[in-house]
């Protein structure tokens, strides 16, 4: 992407983020309140059952929620981004990737705030930080790539198939339960646990938990995540480029 393209991407991401904050009464506090509320509900429901076998279930759950929320919000926001920005797309020579990536980036800004709050909480609870936390940087960059790639594909498809919004909502609901957000993989049967380990979301969440607990993430999980992210980005970018003219006409 050329320098001007990058500037437009950042400018649009800034606009999206500001619009999301300004359109609510509590502004950016929602960024923290949403996962906090979800945490309170899940913790209250499952601490007695799942908390027994999982040490420090509160931290375990918070990391799961923060990481899951990013993917769910970023992809949902990206899905409608091309249609939302159709007036701009039809009046300015703007590459189709830019509004999609801007919407993912705007959610990423919020995600970084959530991670910062989580890190602050953990440093108080654990009495300091650990070098292994730095693993979050490559992890989150790969995760951003995964969300961006998925968002690009979804946004391109949504221009032609309006049912996709509903379908994606259902997939995300299923995905929430098929990802170890609030339960440890150990509570599942071994064959199911092995199957879920192939999911990039499992890889992100489990790796983030390891990194924040002071250990290095597993190489297999990292490789799995990077491969998924690269595949998603390649598929998303290829789809938008291949369908560029058709998307322009459909908008």
Partner 1 sequence: MTGLTVSNISKSYRVELPREDALSALIRFFSGRSPTRSFDALSGVSFELKPGAALALCGPNGSGKTTLLKVLAGITAPSGGTVSFDGKRTCLLGFASILQDRLSVKENARLCAVFFELPGDPAKNAEAVMAAAGLEHLRNARAGELSAGMKLRLPFMAALASGADLFLIDEALAVGDAEFRARCLKELKTLNARGAILVFATHDAQLARAMAGEVLTLDNGRVTYRGPSDKLPGTRAPRVPGAEFKEGLRRFPLLHARLKASGFTLSEAPPASDDELLLVHSPSWLARLKANDLSGQEETELAMPHSKLTLPLSWRMAGGTITAARAAAAAGGLGVFPYGGGHHAFPDRGEGFCPVNDMAIAARVLGREGAVKNPAVIDLDAHQGNGTAYIALAGGLKTFSAHKADGYPSRRVRSVMDVDIPAGSGDEAYLAAVKRGVTDFLEMVKPDFVFALCSADAYEKDPLGGLKVSMEGLRKRDEFLFGTLARLKIPACLVLGGAYSSPEESVQINFNTIKAAAAAYPSFNKIVGV
Binding residues for partner 1, rule: CB under 8 A, are 4, 7-8, 11, 15, 18-19, 22-23, 87-93, 244-245, 248-249
Closer to partner 1 by CB, 163 or 191: give it: 163
User: Minimum distance from CB of 94 to partner 1 (Å)?
Assistant: 8
Closer to partner 1 by CB, 36 or 84: give it: 84
Contact between 152 and 79 under an 8 Å Cβ cutoff? The reply is no
3-state secondary structure 29-93: HHHHHHHHHHHHHHHHHHHHHHCCCCCCHHHHHHHHHHHHHHHHHHHHHHHCHHHHCHHHHCCCC
Token pair, residue 137, equals: 């940087």
User: Minimum distance from CB of 105 to partner 1 (Å)?
Assistant: 15
Closer to partner 1 by CB, 8 or 111: give it: 8
Closer to partner 1 by CB, 169 or 248: give it: 248
What is the end-to-end Cα distance of the chain in Å, rounded? Answer: 23
Closest listed residue to residue 235, CA positions, set 156, 164, 180: 156
User: Minimum distance from CB of 224 to partner 1 (Å)?
Assistant: 35
User: Minimum distance from CB of 5 to partner 1 (Å)?
Assistant: 10
Token pair, residue 224, equals: 């799995």
Closer to partner 1 by CB, 219 or 245: give it: 245
User: Minimum distance from CB of 92 to partner 1 (Å)?
Assistant: 6
Q: How far apart are CA 204 and CA 212, in angstroms?
A: 12
């Amino acid at each position: 992407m050329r320098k001007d393209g990058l500037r437009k991407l950042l400018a649009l991401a800034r606009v999206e983020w500001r619009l999301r904050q300004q359109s609510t009464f509590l502004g950016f506090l929602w960024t923290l309140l949403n996962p906090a509320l979800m945490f309170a509900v899940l913790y209250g429901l499952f601490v007695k059952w799942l908390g027994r076998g999982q040490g420090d279930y509160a931290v375990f759950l918070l990391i799961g929620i923060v990481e899951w929320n990013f993917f769910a919000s970023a992809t949902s926001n990206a899905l409608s981004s091309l249609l939302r920005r159709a007036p701009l797309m039809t009046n300015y020579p703007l590459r189709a990737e830019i509004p999609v990536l801007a919407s993912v980036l705007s959610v990423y800004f919020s995600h970084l705030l959530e991670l910062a709050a989580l890190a602050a909480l953990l440093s108080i609870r654990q009495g300091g930080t650990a070098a292994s936390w730095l693993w979050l940087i490559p992890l989150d960059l790969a995760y951003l790539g995964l969300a961006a790639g998925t968002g690009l594909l979804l946004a391109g498809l949504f221009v032609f198939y309006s049912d996709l919004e509903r379908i994606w909502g259902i997939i995300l609901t299923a995905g929430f339960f098929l990802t170890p957000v609030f339960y440890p993989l150990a509570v599942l049967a071994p064959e199911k646990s092995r199957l879920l380990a192939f999911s990039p979301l499992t890889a992100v969440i489990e790796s983030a938990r390891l990194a924040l607990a002071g250990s290095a993430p597993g190489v297999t999980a990292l490789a799995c995540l990077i491969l998924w992210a690269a595949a998603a980005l390649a598929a998303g970018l290829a789809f938008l480029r291949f369908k560029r003219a058709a998307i322009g006409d459909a908008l």
